């Protein structure tokens, strides 16, 4: 006598139908909530953004004009320009939330502020690599500490700073950095911590200016 598979097949098909219906209902609910939120965002009036805690680049602490290399001078020039801009870390904030928080009339302004912050983080990372390769590690530490202090999401910046702390036997600072990463919202924090824990002075990453 064969094993009766039909009842199990029917049960599976019933479960599958219920599951699909549940997922469809959930998707419809999420879409309805999204459009309701978007409608509210598009009706949000302008907020006062003049007194926000903007980030400013401490350009006076950077070792400007230490090189005649065109790439170095270009990075420094862009950082000097950005030091006159208002910057905010808006990483992970959706366009809808930007409008809800700051108002529709400020949307383009806040988008530019966020993009300028992202650009700054990229420049600081590149600048730090050049400083390290130019034997200006103390300056690189200052630049990287600022970048991480304002919440850069560039993994390489955290790894470079950790390696500098290791090289300089600054174990307490290394511990604080690990704690900061551990408690952050960085998407790759586990990967960053793994690279920090497994890195040595022999594989210390440096890059020369092109």
Which pLDDT belongs to residue 3?
Answer: 57
Q: What percent of the chain has pLDDT over 70?
A: 91
Rounded to whole angstroms, how far apart are CA atoms 172 and 166?
A: 10
Q: How far is CA 36 from CA 30, 39, 92, 196, in A?
A: 10, 5, 20, 43
Rounded to whole angstroms, how far apart are CA atoms 164 and 146?
A: 14
Residue 200: pLDDT band (50, 70, 90) is low
Q: For residue 155, what are the contacts with CB-CB under 8 A and spacing of at least 6?
A: 186, 188, 191, 192, 195
Q: For residue 134, give both structure tokens.
A: 């130019």
Q: How far apart are the first and last CA of the chain?
A: 77
- Please compute the mean of the pLDDT values over residues 41-62 and round it to a whole number: 91
Residue 198: pLDDT band (50, 70, 90) is confident
Q: What 3-state class would DSSP assign to 72?
A: helix
Which pLDDT belongs to residue 38?
Answer: 75
Kindly tell me if the per-residue pLDDT of 137 is higher than 50. yes
Q: Convert the pLDDT of each residue in 65-105 to its tens digit.
A: 999 999 999 999 999 999 999 999 998 899 999 999 999 99
- The domain ranges of the chain are 44-203
Q: How far is CA 187 from CA 28, 91, 171, 181, in A?
A: 28, 11, 25, 10
Which pLDDT belongs to residue 13?
Answer: 78
Which pLDDT belongs to residue 2?
Answer: 54
Q: For residue 166, what are the contacts with CB-CB under 8 A and spacing of at least 6?
A: 174, 199, 200, 201
Which pLDDT belongs to residue 209?
Answer: 38
Please provide the CATH number assigned to the domain covering 44-203: 1.25.40
- Please compute the mean of the pLDDT values over residues 148-175 and round it to a whole number: 95
Residue 116: pLDDT band (50, 70, 90) is very high
Which pLDDT belongs to residue 113?
Answer: 97
């Amino acid at each position: 006598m064969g094993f009766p598979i039909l009842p199990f097949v029917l049960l599976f098909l019933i479960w599958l139908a219920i599951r699909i219906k549940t997922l469809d209902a959930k998707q419809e609910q999420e879409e309805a909530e999204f459009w309701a939120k978007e409608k509210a965002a598009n009706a949000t009036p302008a907020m006062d953004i003049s007194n926000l805690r903007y980030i400013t680049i401490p350009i006076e602490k950077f070792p400007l004009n230490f090189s005649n290399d065109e790439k170095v001078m270009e990075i420094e020039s862009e950082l000097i320009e950005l030091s006159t801009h208002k910057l905010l870390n808006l990483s992970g904030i959706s366009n809808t939330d930007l409008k809800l928080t700051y108002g529709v009339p400020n949307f383009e302004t806040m988008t530019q502020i966020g993009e300028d912050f992202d650009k700054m983080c990229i420049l600081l990372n590149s600048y730090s690599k050049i400083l390290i390769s130019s034997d200006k590690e103390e300056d690189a530490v200052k630049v990287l500490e600022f970048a991480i202090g304002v919440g850069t999401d560039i993994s390489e910046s955290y790894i470079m700073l950790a390696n500098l702390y290791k090289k300089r036997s600054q174990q307490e600072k290394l511990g604080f950095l690990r704690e900061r990463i551990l408690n952050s919202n960085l998407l790759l924090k586990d990967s960053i911590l793994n690279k920090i824990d497994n890195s040595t002075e022999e594989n210390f990453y440096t890059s020369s200016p092109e």
